[in-house]
Structure 1
Amino acid sequence: MSRTLYLECYSGISGDMTVAALLDLGADECVLERTLKSLPVKGYDTRISRVVKSGLDACDFAVNLDKEHENQDHNMEYLHGHDSHGHKIQTHHHEHRGLPEILEIIHACDMTDRAKGTASRIFEILAKAEAEAHGVPVEEVHFHEVGAVDSIVDILSVAVCLDNLDITEVIVPVLYEGRGTVRCQHGILPIPVPAVANIVAAHRLPIKITGIEGELITPTGAAIVAAIRTSDRLPDRFMIERTGLGAGKRQYEGPGLLRGILLGEDLPEKESEEKDVICKLECNIDDCSGEALGLTMDYLFEAGARDVHYTPVYMKKNRPAYQLNVICSVTDTQKMEQIIFANTTTIGIRRVEMQRSVLKRELKTLETSFGKLRYKICRAGEQSKVYPEYESIACLSRQYKISYTEAYQLALTCYKKETEL
């Protein structure tokens, strides 16, 4: 069963804040510890603790570096360029790792394939953004932001915790960022820093600049959102299964908290019967091949579309075309639109949310003298309608060399016989 995570980024987002929020949501610390023990990287240890931020109890995930690997990411005086006496703060030279080395490290860790895939996507997004910022190919990116030990630990930990919680959908409506400048490994830079700006632009992440002086979105935080976000919209109504608070390290005017919310299974059954909301997407396409349209339909169904169909239409100047219609859940809207834009020539999609009335339904598999047959059973009050599933009918038809209609009637007969016993 899929689980949906909603991230509130009013105080921005960073790697350690995300790990802490996921741990507070119930991610297994022992699973995370096992993965980190298998990490072929030295010079650090981790600490999970409880802290109070703005009067609220929150989880804190800290990566403690030894002197050789320490950085100034959480040193507020360094971030502004000088200490309290006006003296410049000295920094250490760090071991720099490129993307190929990072991917090798991920592959060597004790974690699931899904977690490895998530961690790899995050690093690939981060490396591409940094490569664009510095004007070099991705393969040549070797610098602190990608290779630092704390970045590696944070990103792997996020991937492991998401996998452990079985998160399949992530909703992030908007990212909140501060303003001004911040001191980085490459000098004093404007906020948002180039890597964050590149990620936000490339992945179309909504961003809102606040009045807070300081960097709220780190490159790692932006890359995490870009890699895992599946929607920017909350459903109209939902149940809250659990909340988690992740604490940030930097001291700014805001609370420095990232809240994660696990959304429950929608509404109680009675209310769900009264209101079922879906989204309808449609667009007109007059310059796309039939093969491309067919493949687009396959992709949409694979991504979870409820229904997809094309209707022949005539557009302006009597041009023959097709109207694409997609029915999907509201939370899948953005994913469906991305598939349509990527695989067709359309430049605009119409979208409308609709209420519908649906019968209760269930899928049932019966063991019959002809093998296992699957049925869809729809109920309306005391009445029920039984529909043999297509794949079962097609299998019967091929196996016994009979027509589809004959196989359909045979399946219905089997159902009545088995349920009357």
Structure 2
Amino acid sequence: MLGALVDLGWPVEELKRELDKLDFFGYRIEAKKVAKRGILSTQIKIRATEEKKERTLEDILSILDKSKLEEKVKEPSRAIFTKLASVEAKIHGKSPQKIHFHELGGLDTIIDVVGAVAGMNYLGVEKAYSSPLPLGKGFVKCSHGILPLPAPATLELLKEVPVYGSDIKAELVTPTGAAIISNLAENFGQMPPMKIEHIGYGAGQRDLTIPNLLRVSIGVIRKAYEEDVVSLIQTNIDDMNPEFYE
């Protein structure tokens, strides 16, 4: 998602400035243009220079609370990590406070979450809508061993979210991605009537049989759709044979 936001016009230097507000180190951000199945896109790589740490929800919330991020970035980021912890707790039969994040506790995940929220804020996004999400199949190796796809956490996070299966043997939606989109998207389905102003393509790391891209369009929603106006016409008929209007 970071790649798509940068491709839309969020300067990489602004991304780095936002992340500097977290006041931790041990990583560097790299951005470059790549082509996925012939489509030019932006790819963001997070190079961690620290060893992966297991962090609890309390650890991550503390990082956010102590940061210099604006509250409108902190609050959604807290909500995303709290939801992740609740889902992991349910799957593993523990309380959210006792969950130790493995992959999800790494710097890259914190950067993905905070970056997604900060980028949408920078670009002035007021409401987000998403198409139904594609799910891959097969298996994925993680700290818990080999798990089926979609990963249990991903599937749990996507409850009430429209999804569809595919024949792609890869993880198309990660738990982090599922947590971000399920928290930030107001609605799922067809694109609302809108005037598109900017389009961004974010590239994934793997090469698949389909373009491994996230496409994000920014525009202005037509007012009639936004207000969701319904007109009701009523009339009284007091002098007509019922056979004519039954």
Q: The TM-score by the shorter chain falls in which range? A: 0.7 to 0.9
Residue 29 (structure 2) pairs with residue 46 (structure 1): yes
Asked if structure 2 preserves the Cα contact closer than 8 Å seen for 1:115 and 1:162, the reply is: no
Question: Could you say what secondary structure the match of 2:23 adopts?
Answer: coil
Q: Distance in 1 between the 2:89 and 2:107 partners?
A: 19
Q: Distance in 1 between the 2:152 and 2:92 partners?
A: 9
Choose 121-130 or 26-35, whichever is displaced more.
26-35
Kindly provide the amino acid, as one letter, of the partner of residue 117 in structure 2: A
Q: Distance in 2 between the 1:109 and 1:249 partners?
A: 29
Q: Deviations over 1:309-340 (max 9, x none)?
A: xxxxxxxxxxxxxxxxxxx734xxxxxxxxxx
TM-score by length of 2: 0.87
Residue 170 (structure 2) pairs with residue 214 (structure 1): yes
Q: Distance in 1 between the 2:13 and 2:68 partners?
A: 12
Residue matched to 2:46: 63
Residue matched to 2:56: 98
Asked if structure 2 preserves the Cα contact closer than 8 Å seen for 1:23 and 1:29, the reply is: yes
Question: Could you say what secondary structure the match of 1:27 adopts?
Answer: coil
Deviation at 1:40, TM superposition (A): 3.2
Kindly provide the amino acid, as one letter, of the partner of residue 175 in structure 2: P
Residue matched to 1:164: 122
Residue matched to 1:6: none
TM-score by length of 1: 0.52
**Residue among 128, 131, 145 paired with 2:86:** 128
Asked if structure 2 preserves the Cα contact closer than 8 Å seen for 1:28 and 1:161, the reply is: no
What percent of counterpart residues are identical?
31
Deviation at 1:199, TM superposition (A): 0.6
Asked if structure 1 preserves the Cα contact closer than 8 Å seen for 2:136 and 2:172, the reply is: yes
**Residue among 118, 129, 133 paired with 1:175:** 133
Deviation at 1:143, TM superposition (A): 2.5
Question: Could you say what secondary structure the match of 1:230 adopts?
Answer: strand
Question: Could you say what secondary structure the match of 1:168 adopts?
Answer: coil
Residue matched to 1:289: none
Residue 94 (structure 2) pairs with residue 111 (structure 1): no
Q: Deviations over 1:59-109 (max 9, x none)?
A: 11110123x53xxxxxxxxxxxxxxxxxxxxxxxx3210111101111222
Residue matched to 1:372: none
Q: Distance in 1 between the 2:54 and 2:115 partners?
A: 20
**Residue among 18, 41, 46 paired with 1:35:** 18
Question: Could you say what secondary structure the match of 2:188 adopts?
Answer: coil
Deviation at 1:41, TM superposition (A): 2.9
Q: Distance in 1 between the 2:190 and 2:126 partners?
A: 15
Residue matched to 2:237: none
**Residue among 150, 158, 167 paired with 1:200:** 158
The aligned runs of 1:10-21 (5 Å cut-off) are 18-21=1-4
The aligned runs of 1:245-394 (5 Å cut-off) are 245-266=201-222, 276=224, 329-330=227-228, 354=230
Q: Distance in 1 between the 2:48 and 2:12 partners?
A: 20
Structure with greater Cα Rg = 1
Question: Could you say what secondary structure the match of 1:104 adopts?
Answer: helix
Structure 2: stretches of 5+ with no match in the other structure: 233-246
Deviation at 1:145, TM superposition (A): 3.0
Kindly provide the amino acid, as one letter, of the partner of residue 174 in structure 2: T
The CA RMSD over aligned residues, in Å, is 2.1
Q: Distance in 1 between the 2:69 and 2:206 partners?
A: 30
Q: Deviations over 1:37-75 (max 9, x none)?
A: 232333211111111111111011110123x53xxxxxx
Deviation at 1:237, TM superposition (A): 2.9
Question: Could you say what secondary structure the match of 1:245 adopts?
Answer: strand
Q: Deviations over 1:350-408 (max 9, x none)?
A: xxx7468xxxxxxxxxxxxxxxxxxxxxxxxxxxxxxxxxxxxxxxxxxxxxxxxxxxx
Question: Could you say what secondary structure the match of 2:215 adopts?
Answer: strand
Asked if structure 1 preserves the Cα contact closer than 8 Å seen for 2:36 and 2:207, the reply is: no
Question: Could you say what secondary structure the match of 1:212 adopts?
Answer: coil
Q: Distance in 2 between the 1:237 and 1:41 partners?
A: 42
Structure 1: stretches of 5+ with no match in the other structure: 1-17, 70-93, 267-271, 278-327, 331-352, 357-421
Alignment coverage as a number of residue pairs = 233
Kindly provide the amino acid, as one letter, of the partner of residue 200 in structure 1: L
Structure of higher RCO (CA pairs closer than 8 Å, 6+ residues apart): 2
Asked if structure 1 preserves the Cα contact closer than 8 Å seen for 2:129 and 2:191, the reply is: no
